[in-house]
Amino acid sequence: MIKINNLTKTYLDDGTTTPALKNVSFEIKKGEFVAIMGPSGSGKSTLMHILSFLDRPSSGDYYFLDKNIHDLSDNNLAHIRNENMGFVFQAFNLLNSSSVYENVEMPLLYSAVLPTERRDRVSKAVAAVGLMEKIGIEAGKLSGGQKQRVAIARALVNDPDIIFADEPTGNLDSVSGAQVMEIFEYLNKIGRTIILVTHETYTAQFANRLIRLMDGKLEVDQLMEKRIINEAKYFK
């Protein structure tokens, strides 16, 4: 699904050159659950931005579904991002005055999906995170854990090939964080590819593979011992 070769990213600010990534290479196959870790300044956020088409590398090659992004225009990348990728962020990025339904529906408003199919997709996505009883409630009235589950439903609604999660438990207590990670774990179990950026060791343990960066370089790339998965109670 993803292949990067000698990926390098350098920032230029007031004549000062700052390398963020240095010749990073790896592959991610469909169905993997990968945790990307590293201290502040290690390059993990830069890597996530490049992998999710929010930024471009300075040099090196990035192939997504066998397409080299170097050959694609910004419009092409935006289309692929909307159709093939889902995103979950630390800050939820929900519209608090809009309902759960309206927040989850949002990515579909930029596609050619008909209203009847939109309703069906939204309902399935909300049901997948166990929040059907909250579907008409304003997002601002939900708990932090519930808000993040809405964000996951929004990421699912376009049936993406891959879900990017950037510190998804950073604003949650330990119980809510574990519940959110169980959802990601279940989604991976049923075939979703997930790339998680986190600084929390406990959160990373839900993944099957660890990529660790240090000073912009790939320091560790290893398989993780699989957890014994209990069926997430949010899925029926």
Q: What is the pLDDT of residue 230?
A: 59
For residue range 130-149, what is the model confidence (pLDDT) as tens digits?
A: 999 999 999 999 999 999 99
Helix (H, G, I), strand (E, B) or coil at 121: helix
Mean pLDDT value across residues 6-23: 92
Place of tokens 């000698």: 6
Instruction: Please name the residues in contact with 108: beta carbons below 8 A apart, sequence gap of 6 or more.
Output: 118, 121, 122, 157, 158
- In this prediction, residue 152 carries a pLDDT of 97
Give residue 233's pLDDT band: very low, low, confident or very high (50, 70, 90): low
To the nearest 10 degrees (0 to 180), the angle between helices 144-156 and 115-128 is 130
In single-letter form, the type of residue at position 88 comes to V
C-alpha dist (Å) from residue 189 to 21, 30, 44, 53, 170: 31, 12, 25, 25, 23
pLDDT classification of 52: cutoffs 50, 70, 90? very high
Residue with tokens 């959110």: 180
- Within 10 Å of residue 157's Cβ, how many Cβ atoms? 25
Whether the per-residue pLDDT at 228 is higher than 80: the answer is no
Confidence of residue 236 (pLDDT cuts 50, 70, 90): very low
Residues 6+ away with beta carbon under 8 Å from 228 = none
Q: What tokens appear for 154 in the block?
A: 């929004």
Tens of pLDDT, residue by residue over 80-92, are: 998 899 999 999 9
**pLDDT > 90 in the chain, percent:** 87
What percent of the chain shows pLDDT beyond 70?
95
User: Confidence class of residue 227 from pLDDT cuts 50, 70 and 90?
Assistant: low
Query: Are the CB atoms for 92 and 39 separated by under 8 Å?
Result: no
CA distances from 139 to 143, 177, 219 (A): 9, 18, 40
**118 contact partners, CB below 8 Å, separation of at least 6:** 105, 108
Residue 234 pLDDT more than 90? no
Spatial distance between the Cα atoms of 17 and 210, rounded to a whole number of angstroms:
29
Beta-carbon contacts of residue 194 (< 8 Å; ≥ 6 apart): 32, 33, 34, 162, 163, 165, 184, 187, 188, 207
pTM: predicted TM-score of the whole model, two decimal places: 0.92
Cβ atoms within 10 A of the Cβ of 136, count?
10
Please compute the mean of the pLDDT values over residues 212-230 and round it to a whole number: 86
Q: Mean pLDDT across the stretch 45-57? A: 95
Q: Mind listing the pLDDT tens digit for each residue in 176-192? A: 999 999 999 999 999 99
